[in-house]
Amino acid sequence: MSSKPPLSATHYVAPLDETPLVAIDKVSVDKKPSNLYIDAWRDMRKRILFYVAGLGVLLVVIVAAFPTLFTSLDPTDCFLNFSNDPPSDGHPLGFTKQGCDVYARIVYGTRSSLSVGLIVTAIVTVLGIVIGALAGFYGRWVDAVLSRIGDIFFAIPYILAAVVIMSVVPREDRTILVLSLAIGFFAWPSTARVLRGQILSVKSSDFVMSATALGVSRFRTLLRHVLPNSIAPVIVITTIGLGGAIVAEATLSFLGIGLPSDVMSWGKDIAQAQFDLRNNPMTLIYPSIALSVTVLSFILMGEVVRDALDPKARARR
Amino acid sequence: MVWYILRRLLQVIPVFFGATLLIYFMVFALPGDPIIALGGDRGLNPAVAAALRAEYNLDQPFIVQYLIFVGGIFVGDFGTSFSGQPVSEILAATFPVTLRLALLAVTIESVAGILIGLVSGLRKGKLFDSSALVVSLIFISVPIFVTAFVAQYVFGIQLGWARTTVGTDAPWADLILPAFVLASVSFAYIVRLTRTSVIENLNEDFVRTATAKGLSRRRVIRVHILRNSMIPVVTYIGTDFGLLMVGATVTEGIFNVPGVGRTLYQAIIRSEAPTVVSFVTVMVIIYLVANLLVDILYGFLDPRIRYVK
């Protein structure tokens, strides 16, 4: 009786390390699980631009929180005999026409800009997320109604809407909060649109269907499964929008319908310096630089975040 | 095509009524009073205030005021400005100037933006590309009134190439500097948008096919890449009119261009709230009409848009 030859003699059997099975063995159980945000964070920390933007943002926040660390002068202490004087000891950037210290005014103006920027961003993010999420997730008539409302708000450029509101609001009511509400109330549609679009594409994912199959309620599905997976573009648009809100504040203050006269504002200082453009341009240039660098820091940060969160953007750089 | 235009027209009607109603409702519901605001800090004589209120129909119920206003728009009556001149008359005098400024700005931003964006996209990661990205980011960050003053200072005062204020009949030569300022922000967005779509189109199959069948690189870039990259840019220019309106207000105010924007700018500075409301409404209408026109034009350019349900 001849026994059957072993299988390996008649058939080719691949060694284990040439089969797909080896991939299973290669998975390290101890490795920390990664997700979009961890990957993005790792990617961001490798970029010089992240540190440039981060430094700018950090500086703005510190100056806004602790202005006295940077100057011991009172920005409202103005002496007409220093009118349009060049820089001198203790006054590195010279004086305005009213004899105020330019540097001190810039330092104290930071807080107004950042406050308006943060409050507007909070309003826009809350309104945009609520409206965009409801419209995108529930669809049908909810979407139809909310999207049409969004179209109407979108038709009025938000700075022009704020111009109307601030022109009507009495002078004594023009506070940081009112100004932020006036800007934020019309700036939300773009955030809502972006989130709605994202939710529409996430909604049909398998994990949403499995959540539904497991009996998770609609609202909980939205909150726990759909929103966290659609929020990335909102983070990007929010960071860039913060810069936009600061520009809006400066523009309105420049037009004289922004913050009241007892609050420091770069836009207002630029408006006052415009008439001395010929003989003392630096009183206009310095607050302009502060304003532009602040906005640039936030927009740059938004770009870095976008590059990190969006794999398509990563390929483009 | 007819159906496409009709559909777009039907879409714009509710937005038009909604937006004008919203502006009117804001003015009506806010705690402030446009007539009192006219008096500034000292306040108005009650009799004067009442007469002004009657003149602007502000003593009527809200919805009547709104209907009077909307009815007026359809017969070309936009109300009366604070100086007593009909808004439609001011518009007739100022709109052509703004239109010329806007045309100049849109030409500058699209020609320069598309060219630089194209070269940037084709040379991804090279020195030209990186510098274009940095410069565009700076243009996006610097508020338009700062750009305006810097341009005024450098080109008007230091170099003396241009006049810092525009003459009464706004000759084209005087409009060039304000047009560049007005174009600056959108220019930066167009550079980035074109660059992005050029990079994406470079990897498309139709570009590879075109190269494979032996077309010259020049022709591939001009016909296959550039044309397809312009589609998002045209859309952007349509939505960009909102930014252009705000920009025109500030730029025309600073350069003293006798256009619609300067009228609004001066009304804001002098806190003439009723005039501000009229002109913002006018600008919103211009914005809607411009958007509609670009959308219709877009339907002609890109057949895919026409048939989207």
From the list B15, B150, B196, the residue facing A316 with the nearest CB is B196
- The torsion region of residue A83 among left (phi > 0), alpha (psi -120 to 50) and beta comes to beta
Q: What is the model's pLDDT at position B129?
A: 86
Find chain B residues with C-beta within 8 A of A164's C-beta: 23, 26-27, 276-277, 280
**Amino acid identity of B241?**
F
A158 min Cα distance to partner chain B (Å): 9
Residue range A157-186: average pLDDT? 85
**In angstroms, rounded to a whole number, what is the distance separating the alpha carbons of residues B177 and A296?**
24
CA atoms within 13 A on the CB side of B91: 19
Q: What is the model's pLDDT at position A236?
A: 82
Contacts 24+ apart (CB under 8 A), B147-152: B147/B181, B147/B184, B147/B185, B148/B178, B148/B181, B148/B250, B148/B251, B148/B254, B148/B255, B149/A270, B149/A274, B149/A277, B149/A284, B149/A288, B149/B254, B150/A285, B150/A288, B151/B177, B151/B180, B151/B181, B152/A277, B152/B177, B152/B254, B152/B255
With b for 16 or more beta-carbon neighbours within 10 A and e for fewer, the A263-290 pattern comes to bbbbbbbbbbbbebbeebbbbbbbbbeb
Q: What is the model's pLDDT at position A120?
A: 93
From the list A148, A171, A295, the residue facing B14 with the nearest CB is A148
Least confident stretch, A76-85, A96-105, A152-161, A232-241: A76-85
φ, ψ at A265 (rounded to 5°): -155, 135
**In angstroms, rounded to a whole number, what is the distance separating the alpha carbons of residues B98 and B91?**
10
Q: What is the model's pLDDT at position B44?
A: 72
Residue A277 has pLDDT above 80, yes or no: no
> Are A148 and B18 in contact (CB < 8 Å)?
yes
Residue A315 has pLDDT above 50, yes or no: yes
Residue A94 has pLDDT above 80, yes or no: no
Percentage of residues of chain B with pLDDT beyond 70 = 91
> Are A295 and B143 in contact (CB < 8 Å)?
yes
Residue range A224-243: average pLDDT? 84
Whether pTM > 0.90 for this model: the answer is: no
Spatial neighbors of A313 by CB under 8 A, at least 6 apart, are A306, A307
Question: Rg (Cα) of chain B, in Å, rounded?
Answer: 23
Q: What is the model's pLDDT at position A50?
A: 87
Q: What is the model's pLDDT at position B296?
A: 80
**In angstroms, rounded to a whole number, what is the distance separating the alpha carbons of residues A281 and B157?**
10
Residue A1 has pLDDT above 60, yes or no: no
Q: What is the model's pLDDT at position B39?
A: 67
Average pLDDT of chain A is 83
**In angstroms, rounded to a whole number, what is the distance separating the alpha carbons of residues A50 and A139?**
38
Find chain B residues with C-beta within 8 A of A284's C-beta: 149
> Are A155 and B284 in contact (CB < 8 Å)?
yes
Q: What is the model's pLDDT at position A203?
A: 83
Find chain B residues with C-beta within 8 A of A270's C-beta: 145-146, 149
> Are A255 and B140 in contact (CB < 8 Å)?
no
Q: What is the model's pLDDT at position A122?
A: 93
Tens digits of per-residue pLDDT, B87-110? Answer: 788 888 888 888 888 889 988 988
Tens digits of per-residue pLDDT, B30-68? Answer: 766 666 666 666 667 777 777 777 776 667 777 887 888
Q: A46-316 domain in CATH 3.20.20.30?
A: no
Q: How many CB pairs under 8 A join A and B?
A: 149
Average pLDDT of chain B is 81
Which 100-129 residues of chain A touch chain B by CB within 8 A?
Answer: none
The per-type count for chain B, helices as H runs and strands as E runs, is 15, 0
Q: What is the model's pLDDT at position A198?
A: 86
Its ipTM equals: 0.81
Q: Band of the pLDDT at A125, cuts 50, 70, 90?
A: very high
φ, ψ at B80 (rounded to 5°): -115, 140
Tens digits of per-residue pLDDT, B255-283? Answer: 888 888 888 888 888 877 777 888 888 88
Spatial neighbors of B190 by CB under 8 A, at least 6 apart, are B109, B110, B113, B114, B117, B233, B236, B237
Residue A25 has pLDDT above 80, yes or no: no
Q: What is the model's pLDDT at position A124?
A: 93
From the list B16, B30, B254, the residue facing A168 with the nearest CB is B30
**In angstroms, rounded to a whole number, what is the distance separating the alpha carbons of residues B208 and B216?**
12
Q: What is the model's pLDDT at position A33?
A: 67
Asked whether the beta carbons of A86 and A117 are under 8 A apart, the reply is no
Place of tokens 């100037």: B97
A278 touches chain B (CB under 8 A): yes
Q: What is the model's pLDDT at position A314?
A: 66
φ, ψ at B245 (rounded to 5°): -65, -50
Residue A126 has pLDDT above 90, yes or no: yes
Q: Band of the pLDDT at A58, cuts 50, 70, 90?
A: very high
B172 min Cα distance to partner chain A (Å): 25
Residue range B147-173: average pLDDT? 78
**In angstroms, rounded to a whole number, what is the distance separating the alpha carbons of residues A79 and A283?**
16
Greater confidence, A135 or B157?
A: A135
Residue A304 has pLDDT above 70, yes or no: yes
Q: Band of the pLDDT at A59, cuts 50, 70, 90?
A: very high
Find chain A residues with C-beta within 8 A of B160's C-beta: none
Least confident stretch, A285-289, B74-78, B179-183, B273-277: B74-78
Closest CA to B165 of B183, B144, B149, B141: B149
| Sign of the torsion angle spanned by Cα atoms A119, A125, A128, A134 | negative
Residue A238 has pLDDT above 90, yes or no: no
Tokens of B18: 């909604």
Tokens of B50: 């009442």
Tens digits of per-residue pLDDT, A38-57? Answer: 877 888 888 888 898 889 99
Give the angle subtended at the CA of B36 by the CAs of B33 and B41, to the nearest 5°. Answer: 125
With b for 16 or more beta-carbon neighbours within 10 A and e for fewer, the B205-239 pattern comes to eebeebeeeebeeeebbeebbbebbbbebebbbbe
Residue B309 has pLDDT above 50, yes or no: no
Q: What is the model's pLDDT at position B40?
A: 65
Residue A147 has pLDDT above 80, yes or no: yes
A296 min Cα distance to partner chain B (Å): 5
Q: What are the domain boundaries of chain A?
A: 46-316
